[in-house]
Structure 1
């Protein structure tokens, strides 16, 4: 039996369902970008235990479809009824729909087997699944038809219904790294700062890093620092709204130098601070410093 939420907070739960090929997985990914905690294909019999106890700190999005191990139309309808009556829970059923002819075209183009008819034609599976889901479709609080939508339009439609009032946040990560160890994975924009004056050649700065005020001052004293930094900041400010409009949830910016200790760290710190002062959601990572701190490798004594 489900217990009430604790602490008086409403647990916001989005059940995301719909026919295979309509875009349900894309919808789950969009909700994850909107800071929902997302779980896909959770067996229905585990849902009560998931929701027992205190209300979660984040809204919860659960992907449910006919591939779920214990899926049944009656079982899902019963779960919707139970959650709708549950004190402390705000339930929304999001149904991602699509016309039958468009689903058939999508399966034909990708040559995927339909999960409801793995040994038969996709059309047979589509018909079976739509029949199973027809009553659930009628219980939807939000119905999004993707027949004439591309991925970006689907994202915009879900954000229109479910994004926080302030709009989806774009998280920015600024990181430093050493070119000797290659580019970090998943980086979007990279700036090489090896042209700046190297603090390594100053004995009193050699063992410090770019977070130290003396090292940062040394890097900033290079006449090329200010125009370079201003252009990087201007470019970032230009691109952030465009990335946000495109539906991007995360942007990673990297600064590289020889050893990843002085110049790249100082630039990453400076850009992160400038963006944070403008209200951006920013995190910082210094790859080489983190590894040295964790003892993952012996500090390289070659110049930064």
Structure 2
């Protein structure tokens, strides 16, 4: 019998929790229909008997931290916490139930249990020390705040899922779908995961890069904000890092350090991502040809833009229309 434990905190993002439980229930039903009996136990754990979700719903937890002990779980899943800003995360970490959850997770991380989280819940794993020296992803708009808090974690917010050792992390809230399919595939088998995706109409996505809105990233470095504005005003023109640093009255080295601290990428990659973000917006909202879009974002060759979109977003330009 395999055991999956879902950790639930007050204020949990309702859809993230529902996706977790509904996907597991669907997988159990499919497995039961094929083998006669489910071989997986799903249980919830919280700091107290009842939890109130972000939308005000109340649910009864199966277990509580103080009485359950560590027990044995094959997987621990932490749905999104519902925190939408760095300040909200700081406030959440100060709560008693969150501190209990981190202590319980830290103890679980010393064994063979695998631990998964998406969106702001990835911060909980990092705060508990489970991601030090590992790779991870999280909600794209919280990436700068994550980097500032956890420099020991290698963050790639463009990816939808990142697996490193016993930890599996996912991007923004509804990437919980992708997270759950990956877990179902491992626990229940690829065939069950396939049928879950068919019944629930879940499409697996390799990247969250195409969904990013750069203006909504949670960073406050004025130099990086100024760089964004300078680049966006000149997307159709040739530009260099030297010209950008000169416009901001910074040395190329200082500019590179500040951009990388805020975004995790080099200035060249930063410029490229601004171009691609604008290209994706134009493809999604206009009927411009790919050649016209390429010209507007500084690529003379539409083939190069096609290749970059495929590499960075995991889709073709026509998919964005």
Q: What TM-score do the two structures reach when normalised by structure 2?
A: 0.32
Larger strand share, 1 or 2: 1
Highest relative contact order (Cα 8 Å, sep 6+), 1 or 2?
A: 1
Larger helix share, 1 or 2: 2
